[in-house]
Chains A and B, each alone.
Chain A
């Protein structure tokens, strides 16, 4: 079954810039897809359209068979900037979705506690976002999204603001969580190694206008060894594809 169908989607902004040009893509249920490309290839635009934050100029997007017209609880979003509510403690952030659904207080507390434990933050439930490190904030954000039981998980460079070590730990954590709580994941990144480490499928995007350049299926079993020959070979191959696009942008 196809969880997400993207049908001939284009996006042009008022200044006449074509951010995306006739992109079509089908993502199977519970698949893990990375949208990869240099900045300006429209990967975040595409993600924001699946999320329902912006409307496509032409074409349409279906999620579980329904056309996307606005943001909704079926599509959870994890942002690079975490987007935690600073006036809510960690657990209150995770409770937000269940609260919106009208779950009574003791029940939503229990749900939130379960998901905070899933991301390993049960000790920090009463802390405010300002008191948490970047990695911890992103864990809270992931727990907040999962507590809402979306069918699709959209992640917009979620680990982009983290240091290299934390980033790798978070990638492993994400896979562990995904194994436990399977969802269709769309993950935007410009890190080639990150995309190979995580995805079943890497959609390499071309720039100006944004289109799909190539779709690479990654068949390696998890956990993937970043220094294995297959990993390195694939990395080199994708780097070549991305380089061509960066070169097209001229000055870098």
Chain B
């Protein structure tokens, strides 16, 4: 999240400090690739990854014999394990288990984060009363509370959902409170001189102005939800992709372990694409300006 907050200001300062270096030429040098060339390079990058993986695996298994071939199955073996598990319906069961936990935990966190963030962003009193509490908890990695969550909520669904909720709450809460607090005061003045009441200003000015922030928080939180669900399923679960990986470890099924990781990666990419689409839709007024700028 900190990375998102970093503004490109220092770079601009650097350019300004060196008058001889033109920022335009620098940018042009980076842009000097045609679109198809970029596409080819990016495809090659992905292919190279699999070729290397395949090469190392096969070379070790048949020629070099440096380590036990079981430790690094080739991509086709992972694919075969995937097909087998998909056919038996087991893979879908794990995916559904993890996804439903994420959806629940993330959903509750989004609702809580937006409501609490809005309330604190609107009221100085509440902000000073509640924020220190949350700021104290925030630097503690959510994983530190995982064993506790299991003690409190048992090993059923509740502990996993609660854990995701806890982890996903913070980014949404933080970005919401910022968004609500830093609405351009001139927009509020404009609305009030157009006759809007406090309530109308909240719904028609403050909330829409804070939406980009809230959406950023939600995207970060969604990523985090996936991040922590795997860990939660390592510890206390009998289903889910985290369980799949950990269970495969017990039986030394390295292909299945890699399969679990790959599936998580694919779901993550898909979810991000979906969220970006949604963001582009909701923030049309901003996106188009990006193209212009």
Contacts and interface: CB of A to CB of B under 8 A. Distances in A.
Interface of A: 51-53, 70-73, 75-77, 79, 81, 83-89, 96-97, 99-101, 128-131, 144-145, 148, 154
B195 to A, nearest CB: 3
Q: Chain B interface: which size bin?
A: 20 to 34
B186 A83 contact: yes
Given A71-B189, A86-B285, 6 more contacts: A51-B189, A53-B189, A77-B193, A87-B286, A96-B191, A154-B193
B204 interface: yes
A73 B205 contact: no
Contacts of A51: 189, 193
Given A87-B211, A100-B200, A71 B192 contact: yes
A96 B283 CA distance: 19
B288 interface: yes
Contact of B190 (A70, A83, A87): A83
B186 A101 contact: no
B22 interface: no
Nearest to B284: A128
A99 B197 CA distance: 12
A171 B190 CA distance: 22
B208 A101 contact: no
Of listed B190, B196, B211, residue having the most chain A CB within 10 A = B190
Contacts of B190: 77, 79, 83-85
Contacts of B196: 96, 100
B292 interface: yes
Contacts of B289: 128, 130-131
5 contacts: A51-B189, A71-B193, A89-B285, A144-B194, A148-B195
B187 interface: yes
B186 A79 contact: yes
Nearest to B283: A87
Given A71-B189, A87-B208, A100-B200, A76 B288 contact: no
A52 B193 CA distance: 8
Nearest to B200: A100
A148 B193 CA distance: 10
A72 B194 CA distance: 6
Nearest to A74: B195
Nearest to A130: B289
Given A79-B186, A131-B292, A85 B193 contact: no
A77 B189 contact: yes
A55 to B, nearest CB: 14
B194 A148 contact: yes
3 closest cross-chain pairs (CB), A and B: A73-B195, A130-B289, A83-B190
A100 B193 contact: no
Contacts of B288: 128, 130-131
Contacts of A81: 186
The B contact surface, by secondary structure, is helix
B28 to A, nearest CB: 25
A84 to B, nearest CB: 8
Interface of B: 184, 186-187, 189-196, 200, 204-205, 208-209, 211, 283-286, 288-289, 292
B193 A72 contact: yes
A85 B195 contact: no
A178 B191 CA distance: 22
Contacts of A86: 285-286
Contact of B194 (A76, A89, A130, A154): A76
Nearest to A84: B190
A154 B193 CA distance: 10
A137 B189 CA distance: 17
**From B195, B200, B209, B211, residue with most partner A Cβ within 10 Å:** B195
Contacts of B195: 72-73, 97, 100-101, 148
B284 to A, nearest CB: 8
A75 B186 contact: no
A85 B210 CA distance: 12
Contacts of B184: 83
Contacts of A129: 285
Given A87-B211, A128-B285, A70 B192 contact: yes
B286 A76 contact: no
A138 to B, nearest CB: 13
A36 to B, nearest CB: 22
Nearest to B194: A97
Nearest to B289: A130
Contacts of A100: 191, 194-196, 200, 204
A4 B60 CA distance: 90
A72 B193 CA distance: 5
B204 A96 contact: yes
Given A100-B200, A128-B288, A73 B193 contact: yes
Contacts of B200: 100
